Amino acid sequence: GSLGDPQNLKCVTHNLQKMVCTWDVSSRGRRGQTDFCYTTNDLTPQVCFTTKERRVEIPIPESSITVTIKSSGTATKEFVIHQKDISFVPITPHILSLMPDFPTSTLNLKWSDNGSVFPYGLDAFWQIQILRKEPMEVVTQVTYYSKLTHEDVILSWNWTSDMPLECTSHYVKIRCYINATQFVGSKDWSDWSPAEVIPGKDTEPGESGVFPLDPVVAVGSDLTFCCVHEEDQRITNMIYGSKSYTMMQLSSRSHAIRVLNANVSNSSGTNVVCRLENAWEGSVVFVGYAPDTPQNLSCETPNFLIIKCTWKPGRPSGLYGERRTKYSLFERTSGRNVSCEVSELSKDHVCDFPVLPAQKTYDFILGVSNPIGQAKSSLLVDITQRVHPKTPEKLTVTENNSTSIQLRWFINGSFAEIRLLCQIEISSSHSERKLQNVSTPGRKSSTYTTQVNELHPHTKYQFRVRCSAADHFWRWSDWSRGVEQTTSEA
């Protein structure tokens, strides 16, 4: 070609509909008017226009296109561009939003897939890069897949950092690749989007401290703590518990340590201390266990006024005070919920729930939660079959003759809905211990009496009583206090 001839014609499409063709001119070519003509095949008329740029945007040909370029003062140069010669580079994605959630160290990224530009159903791959530190390092790069729907869809993606977002600035970039199967030209990744940044505390003047602040984490976690300090403040060391850890520098104002497989902390938590030249910064991490599923959940009523549920809590969580494991008892039929006052240290876990009017069956869910996790157990129970009366009180002998006596006792509770079965224990120094059962309609906070016959005259006896539900036995009450009586002489 002669001097100034157009050369290196390249065409790139960003949207599979139009393409941008660019060319350059062999050396010392003057920049002047250029006549650009193209025709896709013999049938359609040639389209021409004049341009000062060495860049035009024209439709993509079905198969090929003939281009003639004539710059002022040069010969006309003809090029044939086949679709296979065209490269497809999607439009650079645009990040719509990058939102931090500091408590969970999570970034939420939102971007548009620009689907409206492309035919329906194309596969799209999005590479997302997270960068950190000074100088910037790639922390992670993931590929996210989506399908284009010929509409602009906002895509969303979450990433949880291995260190608190406060520690140092986090940057996010994204690019995409669209698998246009019908397009025969070369296909490539788009350019990276401009990086979006979530500034760390190490960029805020006067800010300092250890992060995360007072977290609650599960035993076995791998933890990263950082110390943000002033630029001119020399950092001596960072201590976790009582051990000094090797530090990694995140920026000129931030250093971090990595603690692997954290052990359960003591009740006041594990201190994370950052010793600076003339100051201390610190945080306290509480390392514990998520609650176990409560075992052996059992509920009974002592008096048809309250229902007592007990359970085995399982492994202690190691969390105390405001972080302790909390229990609540939810009853599905009535929708009632009761929070239980249970101490982490107490062996017996008990929760009281009110007996509800006209409700026999209770569908309990015992919910357990602490900052690390939650669990639950459930139990369906008919309380008339779970009666465990209180200890009978005020056992007294009301009548007495040589061969029989009458006993009276009191039981606290409303047993009007059931029959009670009570058992009298009769013992004396020279006869075997005997048990006498008596069944009686239950009543509300009432006294009960029974006759004990076939006793020996002039004999000292000891009597005790215990009770239970007659129809659906569940558990005996405890024995009452004993009472002693000597039968009269014959």
Partner 1 sequence: MAAADSPSTALRRRDLCSRGIRLAGKMRADVVDLLDAYVEQQGLDASASVAAVEGVPLAAVERWDEQTGTQRLLENLAAYRAFRALLAQMLEEQREQLGEADAGLGRALAAVLLQVSAFAYHLEELLRLESRGIPGEEEDGPPPPPRLSRFEQKLRGLGVLRELAHWAVRSVRDLRQLAKPSPASGAAPGLAESP
- The mark string for 219-258 relative to partner 1 (x by CB under 8 A, - otherwise) is --------------------x-xx----------------
Alpha-carbon gap, residue 87 to 14, rounded angstroms: 9
Alpha-carbon gap, residue 13 to 323, rounded angstroms: 58
Asked if residue 283 binds partner 1 (CB under 8 A), the reply is: yes
Q: Which DSSP category does 152 fall into? A: -
Asked if residue 269 binds partner 1 (CB under 8 A), the reply is: yes
Give the residue among 60, 115, 108 at the shortest CA–CA distance from 93.
115
Element counts in the chain: helices (H) and strands (E): 0, 39
Asked if residue 284 binds partner 1 (CB under 8 A), the reply is: yes
Asked if residue 271 binds partner 1 (CB under 8 A), the reply is: yes
- The least distance separating partner 1 from the CB of residue 282, rounded to whole angstroms, comes to 3
Structure tokens at 380: 């369906």
Asked if residue 162 binds partner 1 (CB under 8 A), the reply is: no
Of 284 and 397, nearer to partner 1 (C-beta) is: 284
Q: Which DSSP category does 322 fall into? A: G
Q: Which residues pair with 136 in a beta bridge?
A: none
Of 283 and 301, nearer to partner 1 (C-beta) is: 283
Considering only the C-alpha atoms of the chain, give the largest distance between any 2 of them, rounded to a whole number of Å.
Answer: 150
Alpha-carbon gap, residue 424 to 465, rounded angstroms: 5
Give residues 413-442 in contact with partner 1 (rule: CB under 8 A): none
- The mark string for 199-218 relative to partner 1 (x by CB under 8 A, - otherwise) is ----------xx--xx----
Give the residue among 114, 192, 96 at the shortest CA–CA distance from 153.
114
Residue count, binding to partner 1 (CB under 8 A): 28
The residues near 413 (Cβ < 8 Å, ≥ 6 apart) are 302, 303, 304, 305, 389, 390, 444, 445
Asked if residue 320 binds partner 1 (CB under 8 A), the reply is: yes
Asked if residue 488 binds partner 1 (CB under 8 A), the reply is: no
Tokens 């284009």, residue located: 148
A 10 A CB-CB count for 376 gives: 17
A 10 A CB-CB count for 430 gives: 7
- The least distance separating partner 1 from the CB of residue 271, rounded to whole angstroms, comes to 5
Of 46 and 266, nearer to partner 1 (C-beta) is: 266
Of 17 and 346, nearer to partner 1 (C-beta) is: 346
Which of 120, 192, 280, 473 binds partner 1 (CB under 8 A)? It is 280
A 10 A CB-CB count for 433 gives: 10
- The least distance separating partner 1 from the CB of residue 220, rounded to whole angstroms, comes to 20
Of 62 and 322, nearer to partner 1 (C-beta) is: 322
Asked if residue 322 binds partner 1 (CB under 8 A), the reply is: yes
Of 25 and 319, nearer to partner 1 (C-beta) is: 319
Give residues 355-374 in contact with partner 1 (rule: CB under 8 A): none
Q: Are strands 216-218 and 279-288 parallel, antiparallel or unpaired?
A: parallel
Using CB under 8 A, list all residues that contact partner 1.
Answer: 209-210, 213-214, 239, 241-242, 266-273, 279-284, 320-322, 324, 343-345
